[in-house]
Amino acid sequence: EIVNSTPFRFTTFNTSDQKTFNANVGMYYGWQDIRGYDSIIPRQYVALMDRIAPQENELLYNRIAPLYFGQSATDEVGDNTPASGNEYAALDNPLLNLLNVKYVLTQEYLPNPGWAEIYRDPSMAVYENRHVMPRAFIARNVQIAPADQQPLLEADLSQTLFLEAEPADAGALVPASPQLATANISRYTANDVFVDVNVSDRGWLVLTDAWFPGWKAYIRPFGADENREEELPLYRADGAFRAVYLPQDGQWTVRFVYSPWSFKLGLYTSFLCFVTLGLLLLWWAWGRYYRPELTAGEVRTVAKNSLAPMALNLVNKAIDFAFAMLYVRLLGPDGAGKYYFVVALYGFFEIISRYGLGTLLARDVAADKNQSSRYLTNVLALRTLLWLVAMPLLALVVYGYSIIGNLGANIQSIGRQEIQAIALLAAAMLFANWSDALSNMFNAFEKMEYPAGLASVTSLLKVTLGALVLLLGWGFVGLAGVSLLVNIAQLFWLYGLLRSTLFKPEWHWDGALQKWMLSASGPLMINHLLATIFWRIDVWILRPMAGAAAVGLYSVGVKYLDGLNIIPSVFTMAVFPLMSRYARSNNENLLRSYILSVRLLIMTSLPLAMMVTFLARPLVWLVGGSEFINLPETIHVLGREITFNGGANLALQLVIWSIPIGFVNSVTQFVLIAVNQQRYLTKAFVIGVVFNTVGNLLVIPNFGYLGAAVVTILSELSLLFPFYVSVKRHVGSVPWLSLCIAPALAVAVMGVTIYALLQFGINPWLAALLGWLVYTVALALTGALGDEDMAIVWRALPLGALKKVLPAQG
């Protein structure tokens, strides 16, 4: 790292036969040279240097030239003869001052009054520029002109800067008059520069380092940390440099950072290549070593059909997360919000058109494989009919969203791009529904690895094509088009696998069977639909009432929430068979296992929520970048406006506290299924949906996406209460206080510890890790890890075997 509070540049002054201190030699000493020897030199810099001295000769050899005796800038007719016969005229060029050229190395004696000799020996002399400008300074005036028409040689560049396009803030063109205007570089590295400024009026901060795509600028109050940063537009000034507009007086820190998309795309491409190689290796290993006869038997079959899909599902989630890091940054809050809304709306109608028929098909064909063709063809027919019924309903909903803005000034309609994306996804829905039926047929034949593997391949294809359409500028409409193409490809691929691996389907139309299917699958579809509405109603309300950007900010936090929900999902799937057996044989054991499950999920979810609360900012930055962090927000409370820094990080800090209740609800839902209370679940979800809908309608107009995050927590509570009423009636009472008190105390200690560590400047990730250790110790001190039920858990973990080995070795 190069740290220098007063950076400078140098050059050389030579006669035609001299090669004084050749270009790039200064790099060894950490000196910055305006010359250069490189195969790629930006055109903008060549044009600037051409105004000091002609570059055409040495540019042929990949060099930016030094200053030569008898040479000056090329004039309009191409003559580079020094003015008035002054052989040293190039040294008086004002652009050297702007370039922060503080020293000239030469073997000559320089007569120019602006240069003072400060060192000489027989081989070389050093001259210091008396008029050098600092690397960072405050300019008061701005003018707009094309780069090749900017009068840089005539203007006072310490007071006036030139831009090629008008700034976003119209007030920036009004001359400023700060009496106090200081700019000091406090940190200088190759990838970031920190400049502390103190201005008594508006002004322009100019940093005479090269402007280049990928550089960004952020401002925060002096002494504050990065949590209070806001991004500033970065402009190319004086043909080649960086400048930002400071819209108000005060003491500020401006951070320039190099964060190019080329590097991010390179990481993304490398990740996709790594995953592709991994899948190819897995495909080779499966064909080389897998033998169906070796998996004979129920236990091995269950292991194959659970572990392989689970592992591939985790791969898919990793692929999707990496793609989210790309598309969220490219689309920004507004585009990401529109795409998230479109997908949320699509999901609702997909459930209607699938109608829970996939589960029915897998269940019945698994019991009688002779019904394969009959069930498959009738499920495909039903889903086609249901899709045809759903499309007019979808069109009606889309039309409603397109005209809803007419209801009031604060309500926003969806735009043409969202309608186009919905239309493409609606077409993709039909092929996805057919593919789902084929996938469930593989599940029925206990060959779940086939659709799971294909899902990973198509996921990889989708994100690869998705990145391409985004880079082509087609936005989220292009992503919807990619979904359509990939769904069609997946359908043909699955059908080919079905014919070659399982059976050749034959058409068996059966109207009576279809009627029975609709009746049998109806309750499954309704519960799934209610659960989806419960989770996505806030998005459907946010879009018209708070706008697409609010949905985009909210969606980043929800992505982490959705990711963490894999924990209760996997846990519940593991304990559900046990609970189902207890429900039929021993109610006391069912209650005990349920209480232990709730306890474990609370112990896990509380520290997760605390950790995410402190890591919300870097987690959001990881997905969306700075556009989603610390945005100014205004809420209305009792008729008063309150302005503060919000953003996706604050939404995540709020919504993450729904997971302790959500984790408990997840296992409670399956306990009620185990005791055959599915119909009661429907009633409970109706209560939750009504509460969630009314709550969001009341809160979102004043509190936006932050209000939606709070309502998510309360909605989980509204679901827990009716759930527990049924649990108490059919399973038994739960000692909630004793279950919650120890983890709550331990997580409070964890939170205090992390906060204290952050105050001492400890890295947030390290602080969170230490917080987990403190939480574990605190939980152990409360005795929560040492009772009989937890002893059973410890014995079930690999750690139990390790404990037996260690004493024996001691």
Could you report the per-residue pLDDT of 218-275, keeping only the tens digit for each?
Answer: 999 998 877 678 889 999 999 999 999 999 999 999 999 998 878 878 878 888 888 8
Q: Has residue 800 got a pLDDT over 90?
A: no
Which part of the chain is CATH 2.60.40? 136-258
The pLDDT of residue 795: 56
Residue 193's DSSP bridge partners are: 188, 256
From 574-583, 585-594, 633-642, 690-699, the region with the lowest mean pLDDT: 574-583
Average pLDDT over residues 319-346: 90
* Under 8 Å between Cβ of 659 and 608: yes
Q: For the residues 508-533, what does the mean pLDDT come to? A: 86
Residue 504, pLDDT above cutoff 60: yes
Query: Where residue 663 falls among pLDDT bands split at 50, 70, 90?
Result: very high
Kindly tell me the sign of the dihedral angle through the C-alpha atoms of 432, 437, 438, 440. Answer: positive
| Alpha carbons within 13 A on the beta-carbon side of 105 | 22
Among the listed residues 364, 353, 527, 543, the one whose alpha carbon sits nearest the alpha carbon of residue 444? 364
Helix (H, G, I), strand (E, B) or coil at 230: strand
**Across the strands, what pairs with 127?**
104, 117
* pLDDT over 90 at 106, yes or no: yes
Burial of 652 (0-12, 13-18, 19+ CB in 10 A): buried
Which residues are 634's β-sheet partners? 643
Mean of the pLDDT values across residues 447-474? Answer: 86
Q: What is the pLDDT of residue 154?
A: 92
Mean pLDDT of 741-757: 95
Q: Given a cut of 80, is residue 666 above it in pLDDT?
A: yes
Give me the pLDDT at residue 75, please: 44
* Mean pLDDT value across residues 557-583: 80
* 579-592: average pLDDT: 78
Specify the long-range contacts of residues 577-581, CB closer than 8 Å, at least 24 apart: 579/670, 579/671, 579/674, 580/674
Whether pLDDT at 588 is above 50: yes
Which tops the pLDDT comparison, 423 or 807?
A: 423
Distances in whole angstroms, Cα of residue 629 to Cα of each of 264, 318, 554, 556: 19, 23, 11, 11
3-state secondary structure of 150: coil
Strand order in the sheet with 230-232: 181-188, 192-199, 250-258, 215-221, 230-232
d(C-alpha 218, C-alpha 230), whole Å: 5
* Res 673: pLDDT: 83
Question: Measuring CA to CA, how many Å separate 744 from each of 143, 281, 592, 604?
Answer: 60, 45, 21, 11
- Domain 136-258 matching CATH 1.20.120: the answer reads no
Taking CB atoms within 8 Å and a gap of at least 24, the contacts of 539-543 are 539/340, 539/341, 539/344, 540/341, 540/344, 540/345, 541/693, 541/696, 541/697, 541/700, 541/708, 542/341, 542/696, 542/700, 542/704, 542/705, 542/708, 543/337, 543/341, 543/401, 543/412, 543/414
Who wins on pLDDT, 207 or 70? 207
Q: Is the pLDDT of residue 53 over 50?
A: yes
Residue that wins the pLDDT comparison between 436 and 70: 436
Q: What is the pLDDT of residue 81?
A: 53
Strands 101-106 and 9-14: parallel
d(CA 587, CA 554): 42
Mean pLDDT computed over 415-422: 94
Q: What is the 3-state secondary structure (H, E, C) of 525-571?
A: HHHHHHHHHHHHHHHHHHHHHHCHHHHHHHHHHHHHHHHHCHHHHHH
Specify the 3-state DSSP secondary structure of 36.
Answer: strand
Q: What is the pLDDT of residue 477?
A: 95
Residue 523 has pLDDT above 50, yes or no: yes
**What angle, 0 to 180 degrees and rounded to 10, lies between the N-to-C axes of helices 648-655 and 548-564?**
40
Q: Are strands 9-14 and 67-68 parallel, antiparallel or unpaired?
A: parallel
Considering the chain, what is the average pLDDT of its residues?
86
Does pLDDT of 25 surpass 60?
yes
**What's this model's pTM, rounded to 2 decimal places?**
0.76
Note the pLDDT of residue 687. Answer: 93
Q: Does residue 82 surpass a pLDDT of 80? A: no
DSSP output for 693-734: HHHHHHHHHHHHHHHHHHHHHHHHHHHHHHHHHHHHHHT---
